[in-house]
Homo-oligomer: A and B are copies of this chain.
Amino acid sequence: MTPDERPPSARREELLERAYRYALEHGLSELSLRPLAAAVGSSPRVLLFLFGSKDGLIRALLARARADETAALDRARNAGEAGDVGAALRTTWEWLAAPAHRPMLVLWLQAYARSLSEPDGPWAGFARQTVADWLDLLAARTGGDRAATDAVLGLAVLRGALLDLLATGDVARTTAAVEAYLRRVDGPS
């Protein structure tokens, strides 16, 4: 009998939220139960009981991180008029560049990288899914093939600038690059 994870409960969600905040500070790669349990005021015994296994915990944390990402996705969806890819990109970049979101984005990149080198385990499919989510959003604003390519390119600009920003912390330089792109795609008018 594989120990199943418990259905959502008050205690489970409280501990998940605290564990998520702990993961934002310490990263997911080196997470281990005993220090985590001590930090969130619990015990390894309880974490295993509520989440079934460490993999179950990681899956739950990844899902929690995806909830933050979905929030950003919705914000982009409601930005500007329908069909206005530029507005969606601009809004999303503002969100990405906000210093408060940096720990979450580092966590996101970690999960992305890990899911590439470990097709099995709780990380599986994270990268593929996150790409698909964003492309769906951006492509839904468009019609033809050329516009689909624009969505792929726009997403690449955001993600590449984000990589740069996370490494250097240089908001001004990376924002200038994103805006240079938007100026070209919107037309110089």
Contacts and interface: CB of A to CB of B under 8 A. Distances in A.
A156 to B, nearest CB: 3
A12 to B, nearest CB: 26
B177 A117 contact: no
B160 A127 contact: no
Interface stretch (A42-50, A53-61, A106-114): A106-114
B168 A153 contact: no
B177 A153 contact: yes
A76 to B, nearest CB: 16
A40 interface: no
Nearest to A129: B167
Interface string A7-39: 000000000000000000011011000000000
Of residues A131, A173, A177, which shows the largest number of chain B Cβ atoms within 10 Å of its Cβ? A177
A180 interface: yes
A167 B131 contact: yes
A82 interface: no
B152 A156 contact: no
Contacts of A157: 153, 156-157, 160
Given A113-B106, A113-B109, A113-B110, A152 B176 contact: yes
Which 5 residue pairs across A and B have the least CB separation, nearest first?
Answer: A156-B160, A160-B160, A127-B167, A159-B160, A27-B117
